[in-house]
Structure 1
Amino acid sequence: ADAPAGFKGRPIYEVEHSTLRECLDYFEALKLKGNKADIGDKVIREIASRLRFLNDVGLNYLSLDRSADTLSGGEAQRIRLASQIGSGLTGVMYVLDEPSIGLHQRDNDRLIATLRRLRDLGNSVLVVEHDEDAIRAADWVLDLGPGAGVHGGRVMSQGTPEQVAADPNSLTGRYLSGAARIEVPAERHRPVDGQRLRI
Structure 2
Amino acid sequence: DQGNTVLVVEHDADAIRMADVIVDLGLGAGERGGRVVYAGSFDSLLKEPQSLTAKYMRGDLCIPLPTRREKHAPLGLRVIGARQHNLRNIDVEVPLNTLTCVTGVSGSGKSTLVNDIIYAAVKRAKGGWDKPVGEHDRLEGVELVNDVTLVDQAPIGRTPRSNPITYLKAFDPIRELFSKTKDAQANGFTASHFSFNVRGGRCDDCEGEGVVKVEMQFLADVYVPCDQCDGRRFKQQVLDVRFRGATINDVLHMTVREALSFFSASPKVVRRLRVLDEIGLGYLRLGQAATTLSGGEAQRIKIASHLSSRKTDRTLYILDEPTTGLHFDDIAKLLAAFRKLLLAGNSLLVIEHNLDVIKTADWVIDLGPEGGAAGGQIVAVGT
TM-score range, shorter chain: 0.5 to 0.7
Q: Aligned equivalents of 1:74 and 1:22: distance in 2?
A: 22
Structure 1 residue corresponding to 2:318, chosen from 95, 107, 125 = 95
Structure 1 residue corresponding to 2:251, chosen from 15, 19, 24 = 15
Counting only pairs closer than 5 Å after superposition, residues 167-182 of structure 1 correspond to structure 2 as none
Residue 77 in structure 1 maps to residue 299 in structure 2: yes
Task: Pick which of 86-95 and 71-80 moved more.
Answer: 71-80
Q: Is the 8 A contact 2:296 2:326 kept in 1?
A: no
TM-superposed deviation, 1:128: 1.4
Q: Aligned equivalents of 1:134 and 1:109: distance in 2?
A: 9
Q: Is the 8 A contact 1:16 1:23 kept in 2?
A: no
Aligned residue in 2 for 1:191: none
Q: Aligned equivalents of 1:27 and 1:59: distance in 2?
A: 17
Any idea what SS the aligned residue of 1:158 has?
Answer: strand
Structure 1 length-normalised TM: 0.61
Aligned residue in 1 for 2:165: none
Structure 1 residue corresponding to 2:279, chosen from 50, 53, 57 = 57
Residue 114 in structure 1 maps to residue 356 in structure 2: no
Aligned residue in 2 for 1:45: 267
TM-superposed deviation, 1:102: 2.8
Q: Is the 8 A contact 1:129 1:135 kept in 2?
A: yes
Q: How many residue pairs end up in the alignment?
A: 141
Q: Aligned equivalents of 1:47 and 1:109: distance in 2?
A: 25
Deviation string 1:53-82 (CA, Å, 9 cap, x unpaired) is 112222222211211233222222211111
Q: Aligned equivalents of 1:47 and 1:150: distance in 2?
A: 52
TM-superposed deviation, 1:117: 1.2
Any idea what SS the aligned residue of 1:130 has?
Answer: coil
Q: Aligned equivalents of 1:155 and 1:145: distance in 2?
A: 6
TM-superposed deviation, 1:149: 5.8
Q: Aligned equivalents of 2:262 and 2:372: distance in 1?
A: 47
Structure with greater proportional helix content: 1
Bigger CA radius of gyration = 2
Q: Is the 8 A contact 1:56 1:107 kept in 2?
A: no
Counting only pairs closer than 5 Å after superposition, residues 105-184 of structure 1 correspond to structure 2 as 105-148=328-371, 152-160=375-383
Any idea what SS the aligned residue of 1:88 has?
Answer: coil
Counting only pairs closer than 5 Å after superposition, residues 182-193 of structure 1 correspond to structure 2 as none
Any idea what SS the aligned residue of 2:301 has?
Answer: helix
Q: Is the 8 A contact 1:94 1:126 kept in 2?
A: yes
Aligned residue in 2 for 1:190: none
Which 5+ residue runs of structure 2 have no aligned equivalent?
1-176, 178-243
Q: What amino acid sits opposite 1:147 in the alignment?
A: E
Deviation string 1:73-130 (CA, Å, 9 cap, x unpaired) is 2222211111111112221000012222333333322211111111111111111122
The alignment yields a C-alpha RMSD, in angstroms, of 2.5
Q: 1:142 to 1:108 in 2, by over 3 A?
A: same
Any idea what SS the aligned residue of 1:93 has?
Answer: strand
Which 5+ residue runs of structure 1 have no aligned equivalent?
2-7, 32-43, 161-199
TM-superposed deviation, 1:146: 2.6
Higher relative contact order (CA 8 A, sep 6+): 2
Structure 2 length-normalised TM: 0.34
Deviation string 1:138-164 (CA, Å, 9 cap, x unpaired) is 11011222334665433221211xxxx
Q: 1:130 to 1:21 in 2, by over 3 A?
A: farther
Q: Aligned equivalents of 1:149 and 1:72: distance in 2?
A: 31
Deviation string 1:175-197 (CA, Å, 9 cap, x unpaired) is xxxxxxxxxxxxxxxxxxxxxxx
Q: Aligned equivalents of 1:98 and 1:25: distance in 2?
A: 34
